[in-house]
């Protein structure tokens, strides 16, 4: 299902949203707060407007002026899901407040409905083809609101004995949908759909989706047929909610000079500052863990874009850092060691931490990043990455990370080599393989050559990752994994060496 359905939706929708003209968006594309529908356009010719210029074939139009002192729309009554027999009248309605008075655009399965621009949507005589997921988008110049989806199922009386139920589950759980023929019903056949696309092989009266990731959020329907043709369609929605977060990253690699240093990057997002513990470990790798060829005198420098936030060489055995090590579960550093450490409160944003050697010295080092917040943090780590020189044997790029929380989490993991060359890194790896291991050392999955997978491309755009060339030998994988510690290893596929990058993104 993942490879057949969601890729098309995400790739077309996300890539299409980057264009201002010349594209007709797909059936499953939906509105975003900065894109408004062209009211009255045929529902066979979906389009958006951006400012006052319509995308694709729609003429230039003028939307309600933006206002400075208005009140954004707020929905007080959501539309309700319904099950009706063919021929019944159906009315969906929404109640919203706002100043000035809002305008409305109803959609079915993400498509605009021509002329559906009031607080109610009426279908005078429901047909099987009217079954689907309905919602309304509301705008008034001061802001934007979108309703919850409301499903419409169209089923003849007595045909089915079980109504399809909408569900909300946690990431990694199993979703099951089923219907059953009513007493005396003729022989029936079934075809299940996800967001309007047929699910290959899903042709029984039930459909089960195990280890659901966030990509599985959407609407599911089953088309029911007898010897005369399609007689009914049942619709339900599935919401997959993540209650997990990335909590730390540790990356081991070779530190050299110029662009062959060890770099960890991270992005925090949320409503407040995040407490971050950073460490650049060299000497203790040798004295405690018997690693040979370690970086003798590491320097740790934290940057926000190009600005230095803080720097450390020799952590000094301070009480605050010692307590932070214990809190996050990091191994102890001898108070007299010249390993580096920083404890910082950082506002939401993009950061990098560089581990370098004094006087351009080289050696093996460990860069560590820990979420040092307690309780329920106001901000989370949404992207963590590490870049280093990738050799062979023990000197490949190894990144450990932790998923914390009661639910599983869907992550995008990328091993970049060729993609770095466009960024001016001439000695980047010429090909990569990324392999994921769990805490027991068991391989979970691997990829060598991402193959221009539209699922990977679309989700990469969604999470803000830079684009990979269609034919590049970079690697990437998408996986839904339970809480725990994991290791992502980046190697070359042919024994070559060079600078490599490993990235881990939350997908929500």
Are 153 and 90 in contact, with CB atoms under 8 Å apart? no
Instruction: Report d(CA 411, CA 459) in Å as an integer.
Output: 10
Q: What digits encode the pLDDT tens for the residues 339-387?
A: 999 999 999 999 999 999 988 899 999 999 999 998 888 888 888 999 9
The band of 46, judged by pLDDT with boundaries at 50, 70 and 90, is very low
This prediction's pTM: 0.74
pLDDT (tens digit per residue) in 120-153: 999 999 999 999 999 999 988 888 899 999 999 9
Give the whole-angstrom CA distance, residue 447 versus residue 113: 42
Closest CA to 389 of 295, 505, 289: 295
CATH topology of domain 64-241: Immunoglobulin-like (2.60.40)
> Nearest Cα to 255, choosing from 293, 310, 301?
293
Beta bridge partners of 486: 401, 438
pLDDT tier at 65 (50, 70, 90 boundaries)? low
Q: What tens digit of pLDDT does each residue of 236-294 get?
A: 999 999 988 888 889 988 898 888 899 999 999 888 999 999 999 999 999 999 999 99
Query: Residue 15 and residue 307: Cα distance in Å, rounded?
Result: 32
Q: Where are the domains of the chain?
A: 64-241, 245-506
222 or 43: which leads in pLDDT: 222
> If 0-12 CB within 10 Å is exposed, 13-18 middle and 19+ buried, where does residue 62 land?
exposed
Residue reference for tokens 């990370």: 401
- What's the rounded mean pLDDT across residues 194-200? 91
Class of domain 245-506: mainly beta
Q: What is the pLDDT of residue 382?
A: 85
């Amino acid at each position: 299902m993942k490879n057949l359905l969601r890729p098309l939706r995400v790739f077309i929708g996300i890539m299409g949203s980057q264009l201002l003209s010349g594209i007709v968006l797909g059936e499953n594309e939906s509105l975003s707060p900065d894109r408004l529908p062209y009211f009255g356009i045929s529902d066979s010719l979906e389009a958006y407007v951006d400012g006052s210029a319509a995308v694709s074939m729609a003429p230039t139009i003028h939307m309600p002026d933006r206002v400075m002192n208005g009140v954004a729309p707020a929905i007080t009554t959501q539309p309700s899901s319904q099950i009706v027999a063919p021929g019944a009248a159906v009315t969906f309605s929404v109640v919203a407040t706002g100043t000035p008075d809002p305008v409305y655009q109803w959609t079915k399965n993400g498509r605009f409905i021509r002329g559906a621009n009031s607080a109610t949507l009426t279908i005078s005589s429901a047909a099987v083809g009217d079954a689907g997921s309905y919602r309304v988008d509301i705008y008034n110049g001061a802001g934007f609101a979108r309703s919850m989806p409301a499903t419409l199922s169209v089923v003849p009386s007595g045909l089915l004995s079980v109504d399809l139920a909408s569900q909300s589950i946690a990431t990694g759980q199993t979703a099951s949908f089923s219907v059953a023929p009513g007493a005396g019903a003729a022989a029936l056949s079934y075809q299940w759909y996800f967001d309007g696309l047929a699910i290959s092989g899903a042709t029984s009266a039930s459909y089960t989706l195990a280890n659901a990731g966030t990509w599985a959020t959407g609407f599911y329907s089953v088309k029911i047929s007898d010897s005369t043709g399609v007689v009914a369609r049942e619709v339900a929605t599935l919401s997959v909610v993540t209650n997990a977060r990335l909590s730390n990253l540790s990356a081991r690699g070779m530190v050299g000079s110029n662009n062959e240093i060890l770099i960890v990057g991270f992005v925090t997002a949320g409503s407040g500052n995040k407490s971050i513990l950073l460490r650049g470990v060299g000497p203790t790798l040798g004295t405690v863990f018997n690693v040979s060829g370690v970086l003798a005198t590491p320097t740790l420098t934290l940057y926000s874009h190009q600005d230095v936030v803080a720097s450390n060489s020799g952590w000094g055995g301070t009480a605050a850092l010692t307590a932070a090590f214990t809190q996050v579960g990091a191994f102890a550093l001898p108070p007299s060691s010249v390993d580096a450490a920083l404890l910082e409160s950082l506002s939401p944003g993009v950061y990098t931490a560089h581990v370098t050697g004094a006087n351009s010295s080289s050696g093996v080092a460990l860069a560590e990043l820990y979420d040092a917040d307690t309780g329920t943090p106001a901000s989370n780590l949404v992207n963590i990455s590490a870049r280093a020189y990738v050799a062979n044997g023990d000197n490949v790029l190894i990144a450990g990370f932790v998923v914390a929380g009661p639910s599983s989490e869907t992550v995008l993991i990328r091993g970049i080599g060729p993609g770095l060359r466009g960024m001016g890194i001439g000695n980047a790896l010429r090909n990569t393989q990324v392999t994921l291991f769990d805490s027991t050392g068991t391989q979970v999955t691997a990829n060598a050559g991402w193959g221009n997978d539209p699922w990977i491309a679309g989700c990469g755009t969604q999470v803000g990752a830079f684009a990979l060339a269609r034919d590049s030998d970079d690697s990437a994988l998408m996986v839904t994994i339970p809480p725990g510690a994991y290791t992502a290893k980046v190697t070359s596929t042919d024994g070559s060496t060079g600078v490599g990058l490993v990235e881990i993104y939350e997908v929500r």
